[in-house]
């Protein structure tokens, strides 16, 4: 299936990497702000993005990555836990263009309720983490967030440094996989609704983008670099559409329902990445040598009906054992962000419980 330019810019991760000229038309000198919320959103099937557990303690923490950039996260611990014990821990990364209260905090809390220490993080250039210009794209720095989190966790007396895992949602799935290839301290890797951000940018969904279109994207980004160096305002691209109507695609509506309504919207992000840096994703190959992660385990969870399903299937095919692919019936891509009645919690709990040896 060949996708139109407008559709492709809207659908790639809903908050990530379309780069066509139409997506940059709303350029602003400052990062554009989220729109006022008019809709509640579809709260069916237990959608509960802003879930707050009364069984946990939480603390906002900061630490530095190897580039000396501040990373901000939220540390979740079970109330009354034995702080003299050394517990298994899971780092959780948010979707591309999002911040940690969008999906990551939900997953972190559900895991912490099972006795894990968890740390949800804002990727660099987003949310409370450092990085200028804001909304810039650098997959290497994004992936580094997970190693920096391990550095920090290793300093906590109640964390077992030999039992740290990582969970990446949407774009963070590909960043977590990329970092696990080079950081053996990440002992177990799970992804949910994963996007291969490199392939999506280079080729589109289902190889729908031509080489000519790719080159047009690169030319546009290069021209925008020239313009901004000469003083033009920054341009932003892709992300979730600001409006939907009867002409919008189902994928546009899927992301709008989460990012542009009270269901999942956050005032800390508009989801639009910086146009000039988004092309960095074209050099990102997270699944190259994914087999070298073995014998550390990999779990890929995707909706059976998700438009992004191909990326989890690609990763599963290329990975070495132990590995597992779970396709959730009657679930799309965004359904697995926050629909607590759909997300296969037991599969995640058992995966980390088994491989982090609770």
The pLDDT score that the predictor gives to residue 13 is 39
Contact 96, 195 (CB under 8 A): yes
Read off the pLDDT of each residue in 229-236 and give the average, rounded to a whole number. 96
The pLDDT score that the predictor gives to residue 24 is 38
The pLDDT score that the predictor gives to residue 3 is 38
pLDDT band, very low/low/confident/very high, at 8 (cuts 50, 70, 90): very low
Read off the pLDDT of each residue in 312-318 and give the average, rounded to a whole number. 98
Is a pLDDT exceeding 50 seen at residue 286?
yes
The pLDDT score that the predictor gives to residue 36 is 60
Q: Considering only CA atoms, which of 139, 216, 187 is closest in space to residue 298?
A: 187
The pLDDT score that the predictor gives to residue 31 is 60
The pLDDT score that the predictor gives to residue 34 is 62
The pLDDT score that the predictor gives to residue 33 is 60
Give the C-alpha separation, 300 to 191, whole Å.
5
Contact 292, 69 (CB under 8 A): no
Is a pLDDT exceeding 50 seen at residue 183?
yes
Contact 347, 301 (CB under 8 A): yes
Which residues is 191 bridged to in the sheet? 168, 300
Total length of the chain:
358
For the chain, percent of residues with pLDDT exceeding 90: 86
**Pairing relationship of beta strands 117-121 and 70-78 according to DSSP bridges:** antiparallel
The pLDDT score that the predictor gives to residue 357 is 81
Read off the pLDDT of each residue in 149-166 and give the average, rounded to a whole number. 98
Give the contacts of 298 (CB within 8 A, at least 6 positions apart).
Answer: 177, 189, 190, 191, 290, 315, 316, 319, 322, 323, 324
Using DSSP's 3-state secondary structure scheme, residue 56 falls into: strand
List, for residues 46-93, the tens digit of each pLDDT value. 999 999 999 999 999 999 999 999 999 999 999 999 989 999 999 999
List, for residues 128-156, the tens digit of each pLDDT value. 999 999 999 999 999 999 999 999 999 99
Give the C-alpha separation, 336 to 313, whole Å.
16
Helix axes 139-153, 171-180, angle to 10 degrees: 70
Give the C-alpha separation, 256 to 307, whole Å.
15
Read off the pLDDT of each residue in 271-295 and give the average, rounded to a whole number. 97
For the chain, percent of residues with pLDDT exceeding 70: 89
Give the C-alpha separation, 137 to 135, whole Å.
6
List, for residues 320-332, the tens digit of each pLDDT value. 999 999 999 999 9
Which residues in 170-235 belong to E strands, given as ranges?
A: 189-192
The pLDDT score that the predictor gives to residue 35 is 57
Give the domains, in start order, of the chain with CATH numbers: 40-210+277-355 (3.40.50.1820)
Give the C-alpha separation, 142 to 124, whole Å.
6
């Amino acid at each position: 299936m060949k996708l139109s330019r407008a559709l492709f810019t809207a659908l790639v991760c809903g908050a990530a990497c379309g780069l066509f000229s139409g997506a940059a038309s709303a350029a602003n000198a400052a990062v554009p702000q989220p729109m006022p919320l008019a809709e509640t959103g579809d709260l069916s099937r237990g959608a509960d993005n802003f879930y707050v557990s009364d069984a946990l303690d939480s603390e906002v923490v900061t630490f530095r990555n190897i580039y000396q950039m501040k990373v901000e996260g939220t540390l979740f611990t079970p109330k009354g836990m034995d702080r003299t014990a050394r517990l298994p821990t899971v780092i959780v990364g948010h979707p591309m263009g999002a911040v940690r209260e969008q999906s990551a905090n939900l997953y972190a809390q559900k895991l912490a309720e099972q006795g894990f220490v968890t740390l949800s993080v804002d990727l660099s250039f987003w949310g409370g983490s450092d990085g200028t210009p804001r909304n810039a794209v650098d997959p290497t720095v994004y992936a580094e967030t997970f190693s920096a989190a391990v550095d920090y966790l290793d300093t906590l007396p109640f964390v077992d440094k030999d039992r740290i895992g990582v969970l990446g949602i949407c774009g963070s799935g590909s960043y977590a996989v990329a970092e696990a290839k080079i950081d053996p301290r990440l002992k177990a890797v799970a992804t949910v609704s994963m996007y291969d951000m490199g392939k999506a940018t280079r080729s589109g969904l289902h190889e729908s983008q031509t080489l000519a279109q790719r080159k047009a994207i690169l030319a546009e980004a290069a021209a925008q670099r020239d313009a901004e160096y000469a003083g033009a305002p920054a341009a932003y691209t892709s992300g979730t559409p600001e409006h939907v109507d009867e002409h919008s695609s189902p994928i546009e509506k899927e992301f709008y329902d989460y990012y542009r309504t009270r269901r999942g919207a956050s005032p800390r992000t508009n989801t639009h990445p910086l146009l000039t840096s988004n092309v960095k994703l074209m050099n990102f190959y997270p699944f190259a040598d994914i087999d070298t992660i073995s014998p550390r385990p990999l779990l890929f969870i995707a909706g059976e009906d998700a438009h992004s399903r191909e990326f989890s299937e690609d990763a599963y095919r290329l990975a070495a054992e132990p590995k597992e692919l779970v396709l959730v019936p009657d679930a799309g891509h965004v359904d697995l962000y926050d629909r607590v009645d759909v997300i296969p919690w037991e599969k995640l709990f058992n995966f980390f419980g088994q491989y982090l040896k609770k």
